[in-house]
Structure 1
Amino acid sequence: MCTSLTYQTTGGDQFLARTMDFAFELGGRPVVIPRQHHFTSVTTAAGFDAPYSFAGTGRDLNGYILVDGVNEYGVSAAALYFSGQAHYAAEPVDGQINLAPHEVIMWILGNVKSTAELGDRLADLTITESAAPLLNIVVPLHWIISDREGNTYVLEQEADGMHFMKDPVGVMTNSPDFGWHLQNLSNYVELQPEPHAETRQYGDLQINAFGPGTGALGMPGDYTSPSRFIRTVFNREHTEAVATDGEAVNALSHMLNSVEIPKGVKIKADGSADYTQYRSYMSMNEPAFYMQPYNDQTITRVALTEDLMTASAPTEFALATAQQFNQVN
């Protein structure tokens, strides 16, 4: 289970951020995929090429698999769980670009320069029921994609086909489907940053509010996907605007604090515990990728430099630690 949102600075710089909430230890680290990298595929023997370079969270499993990232043209994307509703093709289709669900992120980041281009190319894409390495299951996913111009879309494939939908609120979580989440916002029209009435009369008794914050009364505080969606939409809408990229990462970190899942507070039926393994922040204007792990809140930043984009092989980075920064300072 995960939460994602977009954000724009006062200067127009665009960001996509996400939490990665999962029980199984994914072990991802910042990785830069260079231009013209070839990916093997569990769907077809031919695999697929990635003409464009990108940075994101990845792991080498006899070939890198990434779950989020930003490419050299400022397109950013993240894969989130879509259990119970994702539906994929049973077999590859001749003449199509055939991808397993866990391969979609790499293809998008390695092949498109904008969300408009992605929309134009989706007719050539088939997502198949192919299991992911390590997990050994067909991972039920949907995707949020944003570009440097601030265009944000959600991609979902269900039993009735593929849906590529404009995201008017810049937020995505997990199941139910994205359209349901937008409709559910109608249940929370009373939410506002300003207080509601500070006093109310009940018969002869005047009731006084305990203090500021009454505008958010009724905002759900649990860790379900619908509740995280509502909180994130509210915080994104009303968090104070900032000017610089550094301030944007800081603001996004504070917004994601409201949906971060500590270890032990969300136990699944099998006894395992979902928790926020990391947060990532994708800066589309730099472009650069930021990663903030659970065990050490120090943020690691990786910029897409020319040397990294033209390297002969992917480059993996160790996560920075607070101790390293303390030694520097």
Structure 2
Amino acid sequence: MIRSVTAILVAGSMVFAPVANACTGIQLSAKDGTQVAGRTLEFGAPIDWYVTTVPAGTEISAELPAGSTGLTYKTKYGITGMTAYQSTDFVDGLNEQGLSVGLFYFPGYASYPDLSEENSAKALAPQQFATWLLANFSSVDEVKAHYDDVVLVAATFEQMGEVIPMHVRVIDKSGNALVIEPTDKTLKVFDAPLGVITNSPTYDWHMTNLSNFINLSVVNVPPVKLDGVQLEAAGQGAGMHGLPGDFTPPSRFVRAAVFSKSAMPVDTGAEVLDQTFHILNNFDIPYGAVRGEDNGKPAPDYTQWTSVADMTNGTWTVKTYDDQNLRVVDLKSALAAADGKVVHIDPKQWSQTYQNISSDFK
């Protein structure tokens, strides 16, 4: 009977659930002052990803329908990170000033005004917002002062065939963080002291929901006696009993907050980078474990890549689904190598390597 009910539920989810997108972002720091921002990128459809470097002085124009005008600007700072397709549309990136910006899917809540004569001079497509922030600002304070200098309009991302519903996390090298969300056809900004973000609902809802889990503790529950009978926890982790373990955005937000803010302090930037990847491993979605549907076919949501930006030391590190080796971009060196050009690296050319240690048994 249980197997039958499960089959019905799975089949129903494949029919009615949309393509899922389950990104998770966290923030950590080391004792030496290093600040890092990590995130996973999940999607229920294949996306053509590129590790991209964009130098300062690059001209970028709004991606709007043919015949429409929009904002055109030149980048003030060089940028590296991951773009969707061979474009300058950063989904996650780091600029020369140590500003980290990431787009996170925000379905059901994102809303944008239509392109009009009144807003066209400041108009950008939603997928261009992270790039604009990275290109022009060096700190969270600057972003707060200017985030609404542009208007994100309901423009379709051509390669994906939809208007991208997204919200944005911004963290600078001082550790200040904020979240910007396009709701009610306007941009709303929230301070984000935990540096944590997932997907829908809205950021303030997630922060309120955390109050439901203030009982959680990293410390194991001590034994108790009931009428002379001593009861002990069955094993380690009793303090975390009740931690939500599913892949929904509210549950991932709680886990991300708990894991990142209970992490043991480490001394150096190298250590905190490793620590961030270890924490993000908890949000890695195996192919097939979460399924939506796309045009009537199953669309497994899985972790396509995971990245960590070191805002202090100017590096952006990534691993992909097909290659768990860590690939590091030192932004200063990458910009020098690019020599004023926009350069794309295709992660599909990478392959997982395995070190055979058999001959070491001597």
Q: TM-score range by the shorter chain?
A: over 0.9
**Take 2:70 and 2:355, find their aligned partners in 1: how far apart are those partners?**
45
Root-mean-square deviation (Å) = 2.1
In 2, the alpha carbon distance for the partners of 1:198 and 1:33 equals 57
The answer to whether structure 1 residue 104 and structure 2 residue 104 are counterparts is: no
| 3-state SS, counterpart of residue 284 of structure 2 | coil
8 Å Cα contact 1:199-1:209 kept in structure 2: no
- The correspondence for 1:311, drawn from 339, 344, 349, is 339
The offset of 1:157, in angstroms, is 1.2
Where does residue 263 of structure 2 map in the other structure?
A: 239
C-alpha distance in structure 2 between counterparts of 1:95 and 1:10, whole Å: 46
User: Alignment partner for residue 353 of structure 2, among 320, 323, 329?
Assistant: 323
1:205 to 1:65, Cα distance in 2 relative to 1, 3 A: same
Residue 322 of structure 1: CA displacement?
4.3
Distance 1:307 1:70, change over 3 A: closer
Whether the aligned pair in 2 keeps the contact of 1:96 and 1:124 (CA below 8 Å) is no
Residues 239-258 of structure 1 aligned to structure 2 (within 5 Å) = 239-258=263-282
Tell me what 2:59 maps to: 38
Q: Once the 2 structures are TM-superposed, how far is the Cα of residue 299 of structure 1 from its aligned partner?
A: 0.8
Please show how residues 1-329 of structure 1 align to structure 2 within 5 Å. Answer: 1-43=22-64, 44=69, 47-61=72-86, 63-92=87-116, 93-94=118-119, 96-159=121-184, 161-201=186-226, 205-270=229-294, 271-305=298-332, 308=335, 311-319=339-347, 321-323=351-353
Deviation string 1:276-323 (CA, Å, 9 cap, x unpaired) is 000011111121111110112101101112661572311223545443
C-alpha distance in 2, partners of 1:120/1:97?
Answer: 16
SS at match of 2:89: strand
Larger radius of gyration: 2
Structure 1 residues 57-116: Cα deviation after superposition (integer angstroms, max 9, x where no partner): 02444x432201100000001000000000111114447521111000110111111111
The 8 Å contact of residues 86 and 141 in structure 1, kept in 2 or not, is answered as yes
Asked if 1 retains the 8 angstrom alpha-carbon contact of 2:71 and 2:122, the reply is: no
Q: CA distance change for structure 1 residues 200 and 81 in 2, over 3 Å: closer, same or farther?
A: farther
Q: What is the SS of the residue equivalent to 2:180?
A: strand
Report the CA distance shift for 1:258/1:306 in structure 2 as closer, same or farther (over 3 A). Answer: closer
Give the 3-state SS of the residue equivalent to 1:275 in structure 2: strand
Higher helix proportion, which one? 2
Q: Secondary structure at the match of 1:234?
A: helix
- SS of match in other structure, 2:80: strand
Shift of 1:197: 2.9
Amino acid aligned to 1:275 = Y
Paired positions, count: 325
Q: 1:46 to 1:142 in 2, by over 3 A?
A: closer
Distance change >3 Å, CA 287–CA 102, structure 1 → 2: same
CA change 1:199–1:28 in 2 (3 A) is: same
2:3 paired residue number? none
Measure the CA separation in 1 of the matches of 2:81 and 2:239. 37
Give 5+ residue unaligned stretches, structure 2. Answer: 1-21, 357-362
Paired amino acid for 2:49? G
Contact 1:265 1:273 in 2 (8 A): yes
Cα drift, residue 29 of structure 1 = 2.6
What is the percentage of aligned positions where both structures have the same residue?
A: 28
Q: Could you say what secondary structure the match of 1:253 adopts?
A: helix
Cα distance, 1:144–1:210 mapped onto 2, change above 3 Å? same
Asked whether the equivalents of residues 308 and 315 of structure 1 are also in contact (C-alpha less than 8 Å), the reply is no
Deviations 1:243-298 (A, max 9, x none): 22221221011111111111000011442111000001111112111111011210
TM-score, normalised to structure 1's length? Answer: 0.92
Shift of 1:48: 2.9
Matching residue's letter, 1:314: V
**TM-score, normalised by the number of residues in structure 2:** 0.84
Stretches of structure 1 that go unaligned for 5 or more consecutive residues are none
